[in-house]
Structure 1
């Protein structure tokens, strides 16, 4: 509880210092497109995985120090399976930085892990709206739609993610016998 109060104080102080608004997130769109291009040309899944980790460096680069601290703490809570604590942090981050895609993406991931797919989906949609090439949010949306048993939408969304990164581990979901196997392939 003390950490939550501290995070709130940090956000309030930062908000006051910034005139009440979160600064714009760093624009890494050109870098993201460059890495996606390299992933598409990768010759192995391992090479693509190394490149994908670079994408996370861009996506997790928060707009300011206060936002970074809340994002990092929320992600630490996620790794520790403190999903409700992580959601509280991401709620604070989204409230402070409503134009920063990763706040929505991480909150969606926490809700996905809780199997609250209905709560995850709007956050994934917002993350993708803010960051259209956010491969993780797009593939997360596909998994969330699968969790909601919206199979055709999940298949289409996963195919969109695979256009950006053909090496995603989720690609096996489209394989024969997989839950997103294309219609008519099971005969």
Structure 2
């Protein structure tokens, strides 16, 4: 076997170091754990009919629910939703308190707790959680719709209509869209 030229020997000896540096660079590069929902939101906004919009809406909800930072957080969220569905609002709230404490940047934890607080009649606390959910996920049409429902329940119709219009701008086939009041010169 012929001896390697000096440059080839140098490259060969540096190879492990270059691979290690490349691996370190990959590990340290920022990785977005949030899925790219842009195509879904674009498709939702341009859905040709209610049936197609519902399919896309379901994909967005699935994406929100599955974007929990850990499987344990997702399991707690799902357990909280199950408790809520059987009217164990306090049990659901306790689990969601844990979700938020463990994952304060997970928008769906805030949104789900806001819903439970709404069901408990604690509208002000619900609005606070909705605002946090919207800070983390500004296109959360569910949170915006919830905000609209609370404002309208409290008699703050103008604010409720504003929030509902924002939600419908994101999701034109939103079920609550039938609650929009058509402008008629009446001051809301």
Same fold (TM > 0.5): yes
Higher relative contact order (CA 8 A, sep 6+): 1
Q: Which residue of 2 aligns with 1:73?
A: 79
Aligned partners of 2:117 and 2:144: how far apart in 1? 15
Q: Compared with structure 1, are the counterparts of its residues 121 and 25 closer, same or farther at alpha carbon in structure 2 (3 Å cutoff)? A: farther
Aligned partners of 1:156 and 1:118: how far apart in 2? 18
Tell me the SS of whatever aligns to 2:90. Answer: helix
4+ residue segments displaced more than 3 Å? 180-183
1:86 aligns with 2:92: yes
Q: Compared with structure 1, are the counterparts of its residues 75 and 26 closer, same or farther at alpha carbon in structure 2 (3 Å cutoff)? A: farther
Aligned partners of 1:90 and 1:123: how far apart in 2? 11
Q: CA deviation at 1:181?
A: 4.6
Q: Which residue of 2 aligns with 1:58?
A: 63
Aligned partners of 1:106 and 1:57: how far apart in 2? 13
Aligned partners of 1:25 and 1:83: how far apart in 2? 33
CA RMSD of aligned residues (A): 1.9
Tell me the SS of whatever aligns to 2:162. Answer: helix
Contact 1:25/1:63 (<8 A) preserved: no
Q: Deviations over 1:61-100 (max 9, x none)?
A: 2100221111111011111111111011101111111111
Matches within 5 A, 1:78-117: 78-117=84-123
Q: CA deviation at 1:115?
A: 2.3
Contact 1:104/1:124 (<8 A) preserved: yes
Contact 1:74/1:87 (<8 A) preserved: yes
Aligned partners of 1:149 and 1:127: how far apart in 2? 23
Aligned partners of 1:43 and 1:152: how far apart in 2? 29
Q: Give unpaired runs (5+ residues) of structure 1.
A: 1-23, 175-179
Q: Deviations over 1:153-174 (max 9, x none)?
A: 1111111111100100111111
Aligned partners of 2:101 and 2:184: how far apart in 1? 41
Q: CA deviation at 1:184?
A: 2.3
Q: Give unpaired runs (5+ residues) of structure 2.
A: 1-30
Q: CA deviation at 1:26?
A: 3.0
Q: Which residue of 2 aligns with 1:49?
A: 54
Contact 1:101/1:131 (<8 A) preserved: yes
Aligned partners of 2:57 and 2:115: how far apart in 1? 17
Q: Compared with structure 1, are the counterparts of its residues 35 and 80 closer, same or farther at alpha carbon in structure 2 (3 Å cutoff)? A: same
